[in-house]
Amino acid sequence: MPLLDTLSKHLESLAAAQGGVLGVPPGLVADDSPGWVSATDLLRKPYDGLRALVDETADRWGAAPHVGAALLWKTYGYWHTLPMVLGWALERRVPLMRLGDTLVRSSPAGVTVAAAEVTVAVLPDDPLAGAPGTIVVTDLAAAIRGSLMDGQLPLIKALNDLTKVGERSLWGSTAEAIVHPITRLGSDGADGGGAGACGAAARLLDAIGAPVAGLVVPEGDTFRRRTCCLWITVESADPCSTCCVRRP
């Protein structure tokens, strides 16, 4: 999609830097290979498809089911959020992968998240505003929040229903997925991270609002979570650099 050329090139560079392991296709759209599962299918009770992904993640790390759910979300939520945040940071163009259009499958990245179709939220002064595939909005943060409510809230509630993992902890992983790309991969008009990028990330979180605002806070030239992703409960695991649980 020409609208997303800059974002796609950035994602291609990320994939190359990570040996091809990236949990979202650079073009965001799923290919015609087998294995894709609709996100809406994961919501069908008794959650057989979702349970399979949770169990696979739990088995990979030797973790309890609720930890498997948290770690599954740490990957799924990150890859679903990444294109929106990078699109916002790079060009103020936000690709929205609606729940009904989202596809997922297991991969070396944990899971890969893609879409059958992508709509791009753009501001009224964008040169491509009104072009096919765009939706014109006056508030990109509100568009991101709408995408989180549509594309992530139902899955977070399903994971809580399935394993009793805390919803706030899962939203904390989404909040980190919003902050991390800005501070590490591309900031508000500049690369390289630092306090300026943390400030940009904090402003975006505040603009998006509940349920992610306040779950990640600046700490010097980096940031720290206010909830735990539960990675620290995996045997022999070192805490994340952003962990809210500090070991002696």
pLDDT in tens, 103-137: 999 999 999 999 999 999 999 999 999 999 999 99
When pLDDT is cut at 50, 70 and 90, the band that residue 1 belongs to is: low
- Of residues 225 and 161, more confidently modeled: 161
Q: Reply yes or no on whether the pLDDT at 187 is more than 50.
A: no
Q: Reply yes or no on whether the pLDDT at 184 is more than 80.
A: no
What does the pLDDT average to over 6-26? Answer: 94
When pLDDT is cut at 50, 70 and 90, the band that residue 186 belongs to is: very low
Q: What is the DSSP letter of 181?
A: I
Q: What is the pLDDT of residue 189?
A: 41
H-helix segments, the chain: 5-17, 39-42, 48-61, 65-91, 140-151, 153-163, 167-180, 195-208
- Dihedral, CA atoms, 194, 197, 202, 203, nearest 10 degrees? 150
